[in-house]
Every structure is written in C-alpha cells, then in structure tokens.
Structure 1
C-alpha cells in the first residue's frame, strides 16, 4: 500500500511538472471575473466578453469594479485618467488654435483614436516649434483658469515705461530699432501705452499649450489674496479637497512625495524610506545627519525653490556624482552648503537648531560647511567655489549681509584665479572633457552673477574687470530643458505639493538668460562707479536701452504666460529691480533732452515688483521665495514710501509690501531687517501713515543699544511689538560692530569722529575716520573696547 501510494504520488508530481496546464499559477488567475461567471462559479478568462458568455445567447457579459483595489491598480488607473485628460486638453487646444483645427477634425471624423491624434499633435509641435517653446501643459482646464487668475497681476504689468518716451527720444536713446518691424513695436496701442510684453511676443498659436492671455492696463489688484471669487490660493500645490480621511491623506502624501522627489531630483534618485544600504554614499557627504530621506528632501527643496539663478553648480553633474559617491563634481562642503540653504524652505523641527526659532534653520549644516571650509589648505577647487556662492546666498537670506558679501567675493576671486572665466583646453590630467567644461562655465557664471547682484545692491564696482572676454555660457540641452518642475515642500512629514500642472523647468535657458542680464548689470555698475567718469543722461539711457533689449529678446518659453516657475518670476523681478536702481539716484532730477521721467520709471518698476510678488504669492505663497526677494521688496517699498510721502497717494501698495515682508520672515531673516528699515524711514521722513494695523506680537525687532550692552554682538536685543516694552523707533537699524552696515539707514554723529580733539563721550567711536560714507573697520564700542584691547586716549593712568 505504501509503495502504491508513493508511486501514485510520484506519478502525480510528474504529471504536474510535465503538464503545466494542470497547475494554476498566479499568472493564470483572472483577478476580476464577470458577474455571470461569478454566479455559476465558473472560470472566467477575463476577456470582454469572456469566452463563456460569448458562447451563450442572451447573456450580457458585465464586469463590476471591485470595491477593494490594490494600490498598484489605483495608481495605474490614476495615470490612465491623467493621460486621457491630457490628451483631451491637447486636442481641445488644437481645435481652438488656428492652422490645426481642420486637421484634427478630419482625424476625428476618420475615427482615429485619441492616442494617435494626441501623439500626432505632439510630434507636430516638436518638429515645428523652436527649442525654446517648452511651455506649460495642464491636466485640467480648472488649473489653467486658476493659474491665469494668479498670474493676472504680473501679466498686466508693462515691460518697460516706454510710454514716457516719445519716438524722437527713443531714436536719440538708441531705441529706434524697437519701433520698426519688431513685435514689441507693433504692440503699441494707438494711445501709446505699452501692452504687456507677454502678449506682444506670444509664440505661434498652433502651440497647443499656449495660454490665451489678453493685454491689460498697468494697474493691478493688491487686495486680500484669499478673497478672489472662484479660486483658491495658492493656485497650485494644494492637496485634493476631496481627500478627507487620515489614511487618504497619508496615501496622498506618500504618492506626492514620490512624484515630487522623482520630478525634482530625477526618477533614478533614491526615494524616502530607503536605508543607507542603498544610498550609503550620503553618509560620507555630511556628518550632521544619517537620515538619507531628510538629505534628499532638503536637496529637492533647494533645487525646487532657489536653483538655478545664482547657482554656481550644474545640477545634472552634481547629482550624478552625489549618487555614485564620486568627488569630482560633489564634495562634503558643497553638500552641507546646499543642505543649509534647503533648510530655509522647510518648517520641520530637524531643519532647525532650535525648533522654536525659524532663524536657526540650517545652522547645523552651515556650521559643518564652515568647519570643512576652514580645514581646506587649498581652496582652488570648483566645488569650493560653488559652496562659497551657496553659503553667500544662505547668509543673504539670513540677513547677514557682510558675511554674504565676503563669501561672494571669495567665490569670484578664486574663480578668476583658477581661470574659470576662460575657455579651458587642457588640464593637468590632459584634455578637458565636455563635462568639465560645462561645470567650469556654470561655476564661473554663478559666481559672476552673484557678484553683480551684490555690487548692484550696495553700490560699488564689481570684482571683475570691465572688458575681459568671458567663457561661453553652458549649452542649452533640450532634454534638460524639458525636464519637469513642480512645487515641492513639506507639511511636517516631508511631503511635496500635488501636481496641478506640469511645467518644463527650462533650467538652462533661465540660467543663460539670467547671466545675460548680469552682463548688463556689469556695464551698469561701471557706468556708475568708475573713477573719473561722470554719469550723464546719454549714458543712463544707453544702459536703459540695453535692459530693454534684454527684455525684448528673452526666449518665448520664459514669458510669464508660458512659464511661471519661481526662477522665471525671480528673473523678472531682478530685471525691474535693476531698472529701479538705475534711475533711483536721479528721482529728484529730470532730463533736459528727453521726456523720460526717472521718478515715473522708478514708480513703474516698483509697481512691477509688487505685482510679480503678488502673483508669486497667489501661486506658491511667500513661505518659499528665492533668497534675494526680500531685498527686491525693500527697494520697491522705499519707492512706494517716497511716493506716498510726496504725493499722499493711496497707501495700499505700500502697506501690502510690509505684509509681504511679514509673510517672508519665517523663510528669510532679512525680511525682518527690511521691515524695520521701513519702519525707521517712516519715522525719519515723517510720513503720515499708520502701520499699527499690520504690527503684531509676532514681529521681532533687532535693537542694538548704542552702548553695546549685549554680551554677544551677533545676538541683537529682541523685543516684541505691542508688548509692555516700548519700542524706540529711533534706535531701529543701528550699526552693528560685527557688520559692515550695508543696509543701515540709522547713522548718527556718535558713529564716527570727524574732529581732531579728544573723545568727548563714552559712546563716541574713538577711531579717527574723517569720511563717514567710507567703509570703516568692524569695531565695537563701550564695554567691547577693553575686550578688544583698547582704551580711550587720556583714560590710562
């Protein structure tokens, strides 16, 4: 019996292995049977109709969607729905565009599938459109409407105040080419007003992703941004309102996190939740944390919100070496610098040294970067130049302008000493590779642009000669241009925001165009600050012409109607910021041979900055803005305040800028400093305006006593508004002994000594410094005088 049973068992085993059809593997099981087969408990082949139902008459083969689906099935279904929606929107856009409607209608009448029609439209666009036509597509028409509403303030601004120029003025200023045959000249209305630049330079209407902008006036709405009827702000980046349960929120967060990091950092980048066994190289890049997910999160925040305008690194080359652990285009110093900057865009407690104080965000990574920098014996390394630039940007965000200017100066000096501004042919290792050439170019132009920005902001000659030929800018690579951008942030758990629209990053075009603007700024600075050169009206208008030409020649993909990434909005703000500083010294003057009004140009530039910031707030909120934005807002606020003080106009624009600075204070420490500068100027200029409505206990003010009673001069005395402690506005924004006081309007007689007699008062600066507007040493007074090893002359026994 046992032998028979064993023989039968073996025979059964042989039969099973020799005849696979008798074995029901997982791949042969139909996951969802039709209702008829379920009733009969029969095997269903999953076809529609299935074989069993097809063989019987009068039987309908119906498949019911199972109540419970796997996450994989749901993801697949969502992707299919997104694809179908994108195809539908693309076809509808083509039907409404000139030149494509007839072709698409013929395809629909012939019964072509949506896939085929959508692919043919995409191929036509790729074959016919220029490379710079990488513009935004939308998954839902509601997204397009909401974004159009959010961009309306910026879209209705004018590109430049040409309405103040007569045709004769334009000819004299070298602008005559802009009125003959160009799209910009043709866009001038009969009244002479300038239509929006975005409208006048719209690409061919056959482009299916084009937004149908209409021109508007130069006025814009600065009212409460959350009260726009029919739209919810921020316009993009909000999680689905239909998600209600905690599990659904977690699922949406996880899905968004995967999409977000995959989009910003690349799909082959390790996602959150992976251990160092899969990404062990990260441990070698930073000693501050061993949390790979957190490092990836901070990297994504930086590349989402700050990169690439002042970036001195090439993202693609950096990430490649970061992943593989190679030190060629990546280093621990560079990684820690990026992470310290990325922390400024995070509200997570671990992004701060003190979880309760936003101003400590990234201090631990910055301290590690500083330690690594000080350990270097030779700083002539590209990654060191890149790190210095990023550390400078981070310090600018924090409001430590002296440190920022110093680090930026170190970056450009070392870049020049390394010869990064020249074309490299050979290195010590032989011929320079194309990769190294690209990174060298990015490193130099990032350092160059940052130096121009600081020189423009504080009023000085740049640290680079005037007429030297510069290395070519990094090449525009199409697949890099087409890489997607979406808003990425955290909600305390590291989740990015939902993808409401897909924006091509156009990252190389943004960087190249921004560098071209920096070259014009470079010429602007030499016109203003070269010794022996007295600025005249012709030179001023020549520089103005160059700014206008830059704006006119900007690629179509970077127009606000087509692209609205933070980097694009930032570049537009920087353009108006440069024009404002070009004319601001002359607001009390007029030109004798031109009708251009410097005061009017400044007001329009300030309006444009405010409008762009309004749109930025509606799109993304002001919680995450590039580091130099508070400096732009400070400059526009001063202009609005001057207009308010002289003309007594509606204070709404001015008050809105103060509110904007308040909104940015959690991300940028300089926003608080800028807010206090404005408050001091209101008092100093005696402008009749009440700001008590926007002052609250959340705003802190940095008051440094004249006597220097603070034990640590780097930690100003903190008081809160509306507290029992009265704020002495006269002591706001006083000089600090540890700062070059680049943004310090509150200079008093005791800050310097112009006489030759003895020191009269204890708080008087004992240094002999006859030129108050000249830079002076970082020097403490009061109790810090003895600590530094000094005493007032005549006090020694």
Structure 2
C-alpha cells in the first residue's frame, strides 16, 4: 500500500509541473521546461535565448469554438452593414457607431427589433438573416452578397443579349396554346414572382436585391474567384484544419452522421469491407469522394435516393447500397478531386477514378442477375462518368442497359402492394431509379438524335415526393479542402424540387424526339412549335425555389443550361429554313439559346470555376460553340462568344476528357466550313495536331461507336469488292444505316481478335 500511495503521489506531483508549451530550446533537448519566461534551464545557460512558439496543434474543441466565434462576428457585421445600406435604419445605426457602440450591441438590437426581416419598401428578405425560418439563401456579409450578384448578373441579363427574344408573338396564327409571356420575361421569373424586373437597377421586388455593379461579360478571370475559397485547388499537405473542414462539410452534404468524428461508428456488413470497395480501406477517403459526388453532380440524372442509400451505407445493409454502386459513385467523385490518390496515373489527371471504375466493371461482369435496383443505379452513374471521359460508345451502352433493366423490372409502373409496410420506402427508391434512368436516356437521345428507349405513349410512375426536411437541407461548396469556414453564403439544396422539375423537362425532351424522328410522321412547322411552346410553358411554371434569385446551386444552373441545350437542338436541324405562318426564325432561336448557354457557363465559372461541373456540361459548351461557329460564318459576328466557348472547354479539360475531343471537333468544323477564325494552340502537342490536315481529326473508328465524329469520308460508308487495300476497312459494309460491327482493324488488331485477311486470287 505504501508503494502504491507513493506512486500515486509521485504522479500527482508530476502533473503539477508539466507545462503545456515548452520553449524551443527545451524541446530541442527534450528536457523539462518550467514554462517561465525565461525558463530556469535557459536562464542557467549563457548565450541562449528562451523563445516560446505559438502551438500549431490545437484541440478540436478549441478550434470549433474559435470558428463559431468568427462566424458569429461575421453575422453581426453582416447585420450592421445591411442596416447601413437600408433606408430606415442607416441613420440610427450610424449614430450608434459614432457614439462608440460595439457591433455586438448594435447587432443584438437589430435582431431584437426584427429590423432585418424586411428590405426597404417592406419586401421580405432573409439575405443576411440566418435565423429566419424561411428556407432561402443567406449571406454572412454584404460583400459576398455583392460578389455573387455580380457573378450572376450576366445570366440575369440574358433577355437583353440578343436583338430579339423568344417571343410568344412569333408563334401566333398556328392555334398554339398561349405561353403567357415572352421568353425574356420567363427568364426574369427565375428571380421574381412572374413579373418583369430591371435587375441591373436593383429592383425592390427582387428578393435578393442584387448589387447593380455587373461584370463585363467577356472578361473572364478564374484566378480571381468571387466567392472566397470555394474554387481553390486542394493544398498538397493535409493538416488538422483541412480535416476539420472536411468533417464539417461532410456533415452538411451527407448528413450529421458523417464526418471524421462519426466514421469509426459505422457498422458494416460482413460481406463487405469497411469502405465497401477493395480499391481502398480508407473510409475517410471513400466518404470524401462520396461528398464530392453529392455536392457537384447529384441530383440531376440521379437514379438513387440519397437518404436511403446513405442509411444503408452506414448500417451495412445491401438493400439500397452495394459495392458496385459505391465504386461507381467513387469513380465519379474522383473527377472533382485533385488528390493524387484518386488517379491511376499521377502524371495524368484524366485517369482520375480509373481504379474505382475498373472495380465497378469487374463487379458488374461478375453479377449473375442484374435485375437489382442498385445495379440499375450503378449503370446510370457509370454512363455519366464515361460521358465526362468522352467515351460515348461506353456511355450509351451503360445508359441503355440501365433503362432497359428498369423497364424489365417494371419500375415505370405504379407498385401494387400499397398496403405493405415498406411500400413508401421502396416506392421512393424505385421511382428515383426509374426517373434517373429515363432522364439519362432522354439526354443521350437528344444529344445524338435518335428515338428514346421508351415508347411514345408515356404512362409512368409518379415522381419522388418532395420532402420539406430534404428540401431545406443546406448546400455548401465542398472540395478537397472541405467546406470553407468563412462561407460566403448558405443555400437550401432543394434536391427534390430540382429532381422533379428536371424529370418534367425530360418528358418534354422525350416528346421532342418522337416529333423529330418518328418514321412515317414527317415534321411540320406546327408540330415543331407545339413542342417549343411546351418548353416555354415548363420554364414559366418552375417552382420559385429554383429561380436564380432564390437559388444558384450547380444543379439549378445545370437545369438552366439543359433547357437552352434542348431548345437549340430542337431547332438546329432547321436553321436553313423559315417556319411558314410564324415570325420565329430557327437560326435566331439557336443563336440566342447558344448565347444563353455561354452566359450561364460564364456565371458558373465565376462562382465555382469549371473545374467542378456536371458531366454533360462539356456537351452543352460544344453544342453552343458549334452554333457560334455557324453564326460567325454566316453573319461575321459572335467572335467573342466562340472564343469564350473555347476558353471554357480548355478550363474543363482537367476534369472532362470530352473537352479535348470537343476542341478537335470545333477545329475540324471551322476548317471544313472555311470560317475566318483560328484556335490558338496552348501547347506544342496541340500545335502539331492542328497543323496537320484537318481531315485527320475526329475520324470514325471501327472499334468505337463514338457519336461525335463529324469527319466521315466515303470509304467509311462503303466497301468495294475484291482484295482489301492497305489500311482499308476489311468489313464488308455496303449499307451505312445498318451499322458496322466493332472491330480493331489492321494486321495486329485482326490477329488479336482471331481474324486474318482473306486471300484472294487476283488472276480470277
């Protein structure tokens, strides 16, 4: 007992003399430091300076407390600044500041009086009030409010860009249903309750009261981000601040059960590893990549229900989660990450996600029955990933498999077991799975010009319900650095509203394809304008929560782009025609739609950069840029717009391989159509490629079904009788509409595929 008591006493004495921060000299010598200034050890030595460095490592509790304190200070500053710019509070607040009142005291008074619940003129806004019960975008300080408003100003002014707008008057005389208002007003409806406003003047009816200082359109400087640190690349070294920021961001993007603090609590199924993938056992990396996907790509074209998926991911259940689905998500998430661990080849950023994608393909091939919800979902995500990489052949295959399996499983029908216990959960997931596959199929049908995989007469399952709690969940920009602490603004995600509205747009795209490509049913001007009117009516009826004045998340901006993309491709085949009985010009509509896409991409770039864009965005930019080439070649105007499109594709090259091919396509078309424009080379490799004969670019290949091959020559459409010449396609393919089997031609390719050239006796 005596020894034990002595030992405990010694430990108690030891705790009393430990200093939390030793001086530099004591740390070097690994000696005890008494914490004095100077310490006893340094004082006893000559020529030694006792220096105490500020400790770099801080406890998580202290860091959290400090960050919350900074956030509160920013809120207080924002309230005071907002009051200063108002008409009814500015004099009062200015007098308080001159009298020496603190920001904290003034902010508390403003909050108690409720003065920030309305803007000048009495219009309701919560722009600077994070305590509001309304689910609207909120800002921490007025400068952020101004910066984001300036970034969006070009998009808000789209109705002013062209000499004319899409107008309902253009389609009069054809007994079409009324559109309600001209297209320019439909644009303004995204920021107002259906009334035309002058946003550049900061109208009081504008719920976000944007700054009047818009940026010049053409000046594009991504090195000077407008929204804090949202679009900065990840730092090379990991530290506790980034770890904590990731944890906070994951809690917002994925839910409160996620983040570094919760990872260790996750329960996993015995059939899977802790990370659901054999590529890595690092659960923190897995959840980081998942957060990137859900932040930047989800929910458009999403075939999975986020809430049920994440619940099963944590519990280890394989009902709505699987290793195949996880690997598909991670392969997509890698496209938004700069970390070397996400790349198969660290010297090539285009290899990002290849490891996870290869594992997903392996798991897919190993499946004996693919009629599983998670498999259909994974196929859709794999298709989206291949779009980004520029492999349209593979993307079409995965997309086609996804929608066909969904139909085979009857996901397009309303379920019959409505009285079952798990009906609601199962219906939500089944519905999301079908509509994700359906929307993706429509996007591909629109992009390449073909009939969809689904029949013409739609009788489809209801869309997923809108859940208030899910709608109100916050969206923050999540990157390799996590979510920024000094957040410029917080937006409601509106996930379900975006998804439902996007699916409704996909239904109109479905009708578009049958209008354009139904055999035996020629297109007429009236049919064309009927579909066009449906687009206009859809645009006017979108929910208030998805208007630009309310929300500018990537998904909402993407919906804008997709709408104009659909209109452009609706009218592009008819740009050399006029529509009888209508004042609407297909060429003008295409030009205006292309300009709108370029403007929206410009705003997106100013907010987030194009380093993190959904996978179909390069297709939008290519399509709009081709329209700019046509406009430049026929009217000699629009050079700046084409230059902007090329600039945007270059910025997207780091994360979208398709952007490289898009530039080649533009170069080929500019040369073939003899347009007075040259694409400036940015590297020796580019310069050498573009110096070649343009006929060598964008060639069709017998080993690929790449749909973006404008350079199709006569030899591709026919095969002569007799011996095969050198480098000639050996397949006998006299009918172009039949399609050619995929085969690697050339001696080595044929040999590897089990073929050889037929020996023909020329003498016969």
TM-score when scaled to structure 2? 0.80
Q: Which moved more, 1:358-367 or 1:379-388?
A: 358-367
Shift of 1:163: 3.3
The equivalent residue for 1:777 is: 741
The equivalent residue for 1:76 is: 65
Cα separation, 2, equivalents of 1:795 and 1:431? 74
3-state DSSP class of the match of 1:426?
Answer: coil
Residue 746 (structure 1) aligned to one of 688, 694, 711:
711
Whether 1:733 and 2:684 are equivalent positions in the alignment is no
The equivalent residue for 1:233 is: 225
The 1:727/1:78 distance shift into structure 2, 3 A limit, reads: same
Do the aligned partners of 2:564 and 2:593 also contact (CA within 8 Å) in 1?
yes
The 1:730/1:676 distance shift into structure 2, 3 A limit, reads: same
The 1:78/1:367 distance shift into structure 2, 3 A limit, reads: closer
Do the aligned partners of 2:308 and 2:429 also contact (CA within 8 Å) in 1?
yes
The equivalent residue for 2:560 is: 572
Cα separation, 2, equivalents of 1:557 and 1:565? 11
Equivalent residues in 2 for 1:285-324 (5 A)?
Answer: 285-324=276-315
TM-score when scaled to structure 1? 0.77
Shift of 1:406: 0.7
The equivalent residue for 2:682 is: 695
Q: Which moved more, 1:579-588 or 1:160-169?
A: 160-169
Residue 504 (structure 2) aligned to one of 493, 509, 516:
516
Shift of 1:155: 1.6
Do the aligned partners of 2:191 and 2:206 also contact (CA within 8 Å) in 1?
no
Cα separation, 1, equivalents of 2:67 and 2:642? 45
Equivalent residues in 2 for 1:143-222 (5 A)?
Answer: 143-158=144-159, 163=165, 165=167, 167=169, 169-170=171-172, 172=174, 174-179=176-181, 196-201=188-193, 210-213=207-210, 221-222=217-218
The equivalent residue for 1:223 is: 219
Note the alpha carbon deviations across 1:374-427, whole angstroms, 9 max, x for none. Answer: 111111110011000001111111111011001001000111111111111329
3-state DSSP class of the match of 1:619?
Answer: helix
Shift of 1:764: 2.9
Cα separation, 2, equivalents of 1:240 and 1:407? 33
Residue 449 (structure 1) aligned to one of 422, 425, 439:
439
Shift of 1:736: 2.1
Do the aligned partners of 2:275 and 2:281 also contact (CA within 8 Å) in 1?
no
Cα separation, 2, equivalents of 1:398 and 1:546? 33
Shift of 1:99: 12
Do the aligned partners of 1:740 and 1:776 also contact (CA within 8 Å) in 2?
no
Note the alpha carbon deviations across 1:111-136, whole angstroms, 9 max, x for none. Answer: 985554559959x989xxxx997331
Shift of 1:158: 2.6
Whether 1:420 and 2:411 are equivalent positions in the alignment is yes
Shift of 1:328: 1.0
Shift of 1:501: 1.0
Shift of 1:198: 3.2
Shift of 1:483: 0.8
Equivalent residues in 2 for 1:79-94 (5 A)?
Answer: 79-83=68-72, 85-86=74-75, 89=78
Do the aligned partners of 1:473 and 1:512 also contact (CA within 8 Å) in 2?
yes
Do the aligned partners of 2:650 and 2:660 also contact (CA within 8 Å) in 1?
yes
Q: Which moved more, 1:746-755 or 1:509-518?
A: 746-755
The 1:758/1:220 distance shift into structure 2, 3 A limit, reads: farther
3-state DSSP class of the match of 1:178?
Answer: coil
Structure 2: 5+ residue stretches without partners: 10-15, 17-53, 94-103, 119-123, 127-131
Residue 546 (structure 2) aligned to one of 552, 558, 564:
558
Shift of 1:488: 1.2
The 1:549/1:201 distance shift into structure 2, 3 A limit, reads: same
Whether 1:141 and 2:142 are equivalent positions in the alignment is yes
Note the alpha carbon deviations across 1:533-583, whole angstroms, 9 max, x for none. Answer: 100111111111011111111111111222111111111100000000000
Do the aligned partners of 2:146 and 2:210 also contact (CA within 8 Å) in 1?
no
Cα separation, 2, equivalents of 1:377 and 1:254? 40
Cα separation, 1, equivalents of 2:170 and 2:384? 43
The equivalent residue for 1:710 is: none
3-state DSSP class of the match of 2:379?
Answer: helix
Do the aligned partners of 2:75 and 2:140 also contact (CA within 8 Å) in 1?
yes
Cα separation, 1, equivalents of 2:737 and 2:410? 34
Q: Which moved more, 1:285-294 or 1:204-213?
A: 204-213
Residue 487 (structure 1) aligned to one of 474, 477, 480:
477
Q: Which moved more, 1:638-647 or 1:681-690?
A: 681-690
Do the aligned partners of 1:87 and 1:118 also contact (CA within 8 Å) in 2?
no
The 1:643/1:299 distance shift into structure 2, 3 A limit, reads: same
Q: Which moved more, 1:439-448 or 1:725-734?
A: 725-734
Cα separation, 1, equivalents of 2:649 and 2:107? 56
Residue 755 (structure 2) aligned to one of 789, 792, 796:
789
3-state DSSP class of the match of 2:165?
Answer: helix
Do the aligned partners of 1:202 and 1:556 also contact (CA within 8 Å) in 2?
no
Shift of 1:594: 0.4
The equivalent residue for 2:386 is: 395
Cα separation, 2, equivalents of 1:795 and 1:495? 71
Do the aligned partners of 2:274 and 2:281 also contact (CA within 8 Å) in 1?
yes
The 1:132/1:508 distance shift into structure 2, 3 A limit, reads: farther
Structure 1: 5+ residue stretches without partners: 14-25, 27-66, 189-193, 698-719
The equivalent residue for 1:765 is: 729
Residue 581 (structure 1) aligned to one of 565, 569, 576:
569
Do the aligned partners of 1:91 and 1:118 also contact (CA within 8 Å) in 2?
no
The 1:591/1:560 distance shift into structure 2, 3 A limit, reads: same
Residue 605 (structure 1) aligned to one of 587, 593, 618:
593
Cα separation, 2, equivalents of 1:624 and 1:257? 17
Residue 463 (structure 2) aligned to one of 446, 465, 473:
473
3-state DSSP class of the match of 2:490?
Answer: strand
CA RMSD of aligned residues (A): 4.3
Residue 436 (structure 1) aligned to one of 426, 435, 450:
426
Do the aligned partners of 1:272 and 1:293 also contact (CA within 8 Å) in 2?
no
The 1:272/1:679 distance shift into structure 2, 3 A limit, reads: farther
Note the alpha carbon deviations across 1:457-494, whole angstroms, 9 max, x for none. Answer: 01111001121311111111111111111111125xx7
